[in-house]
Amino acid sequence: MLFVATIALGFTSCDDDDSTTPEVPAVYAQEDQMGRPAINTVFVTGMENKNTFNVTIPSQMAAGFAAAFESRLLGLNAGYTTNALGMDAATFSGALVTDVLTANLNGTTTFFDGTNVLTGRTLADDVISVELLLIFGGPDGTANPGLSDDHVDANDKPFLSSFPYMATPW
Amino acid sequence: MKKKITLFAGMLALATSIYLMAADHNEAQAIMGTGSDIADLYAFQSPANSNYMVLGATVQGLLSPAATANASFDENVMIEFNIDNNGDAVEDLVIQCIFENGQVSMYGPYAPATTGLNSTIDKTATLTQADITSYGANATIGRNGNISLFAGPRDDPFFFDFNQFGAILGGSATSFNNPGDDSFKGTNVLAVVLELPKSMLGSGESINTWVETKRKQ
């Protein structure tokens, strides 16, 4: 914030209609951030923390939020042991806390297709059910069957086969 | 007394959950209802050409059809795709999209001079532009060489029985319904979609990507 203020001050001093002064490029300051779906929404609790998470760069998220993510995971599912990826609570929350989306450059890109895990995100991927299964489903995906799938499996409009792929608006 | 506090905490959780419009929709008070509120990020291999990648970001979620015609990108908000191609969660490349006079201008991908919370635009970077598609019009696609670009209203691709999830978190339900009810059905978002050769993003096995909204100071 201090940094932004300094830049803004810098702007003011340059904004004096001196045609020989080179144009100072505008500074854009971060307000929101997202990698994977529902990470901030589900794992960060409290409005203040959510706002802070949105202006934390990914490489610093683990340092700031890993412990809170783990306690939130155990708050959501007190019986959490491991999930279908074989990750214990610390490992799973540690994997989630750096909120970036990995995308494979050499093959299938999917959130989960039964074989590939977290290699991208297509429009049709049922990302919420994947996350619910990993949070509530236990080591073999059968625990908490009432919580591990929201039973909304597809979008409400078919996607397009050509660019821009997203469906036309309602 | 302790029981009362627990009850209060439960009610607070319920009240909070009402605002938790997932995936990233309306998730934090500071940006709720503003032009910088990100809804979702997508990254997938092009269905049309396996040498290409598609990146898509949606903002301003939960637009009703009636509200969509008047919705517009905030001209002071940049949508920035960040690409880390060496696994350290620091952006090696950025793709910056800004919106002015009915056009979207996309700069990059290019290596930014500085990384982090504050960005400037290198106006010498590759520039691709497209007219922003109006509500109800056919999609207008801008092209520059191998890059395709779209910006405009779309159906929100996201689906989730968010209301039931809120009820579960709030303690008024213990499980999802089958079938569930998509809390995002019939709603729109403003979307930016771009498609470009994978070779412009990295040469390794994979990239890490994330989207940021940044407001002009």
Closest partner CB to B201 (pick from A105, A164, A166):
A105
ipTM: 0.90
Residue B40 near chain A (CB below 8 Å): yes
Q: What is the number of structural domains in chain B? A: 1
pLDDT band at A20 (very low <50, low <70, confident <90, very high): low
pLDDT tens-digit map of A25-47: 999 999 999 999 999 989 999 99
Q: How far is B103 from chain A, CA to nearest CA, in Å? A: 16
Task: Report the pLDDT value the prediction gives residue A126, as an integer from 0 to 100.
Answer: 98
Phi, psi of B200 (to 5 degrees): -80, -10
Position B158 pLDDT exceeds 80: yes
Task: Report the pLDDT value the prediction gives residue B8, as an integer from 0 to 100.
Answer: 36
- Tell me which residues of chain B, numbers 41 to 70, contact chain A at a CB-CB cutoff of 8 Å: 41-45, 47-48, 53-54, 56, 58, 63, 65, 68
The three-state DSSP-derived secondary structure of chain B is CHHHHHHHHHHHHHHHHHHCCCCCCCCCCCCCCCCCCEEEEEEEECCCCCCEEEEEEEEEEEECHHHHCCCCCCCCEEEEEEEECCCCCCCCEEEEEEEECCEEEEEEEECCCCCCCEECCCCCCCEEEEECCCCCCCCCCEEECCEEEEEEEEECCCCCCHHHHHHHHHCCCCCCCCCCCCCCCCCEEEEEEEEEEHHHCCCCCEEEEEEEEEEEC
Position B70 pLDDT exceeds 90: yes
Domain enclosing residue B180, as ranges: 2-215
pLDDT tens-digit map of B5-28: 333 333 334 334 434 455 888 888
pLDDT tens-digit map of B49-63: 999 999 999 999 999
Q: Lowest-pLDDT range, A101-110, B31-40, B192-201?
A: B31-40
In chain B, what residues touch A30 (CB-CB under 8 Å)? Answer: 117-119, 212-214
Position A134 pLDDT exceeds 80: yes
| Mean pLDDT for the stretch of residues B32-46 | 93
Q: CA dist B34 to A48, B81, B158, Å?
A: 17, 19, 19
Task: Report the pLDDT value the prediction gives residue B147, as an integer from 0 to 100.
Answer: 98
What's chain B's Rg over C-alpha atoms? 19
| Mean pLDDT for the stretch of residues B97-101 | 97
Kindly determine whether residue A105 and residue B65, on different chains, have CB atoms separated by under 8 Å.
no
Kindly determine whether residue A126 and residue B159, on different chains, have CB atoms separated by under 8 Å.
yes
Closest partner CB to A105 (pick from B24, B141, B198):
B198
How many other β-carbons are positioned within 10 Å of the β-carbon of residue B130?
A: 24
Q: Write down the mean pLDDT value for chain A.
A: 90
Q: For chain A, which residues make up each domain, given as ranges?
A: 33-136
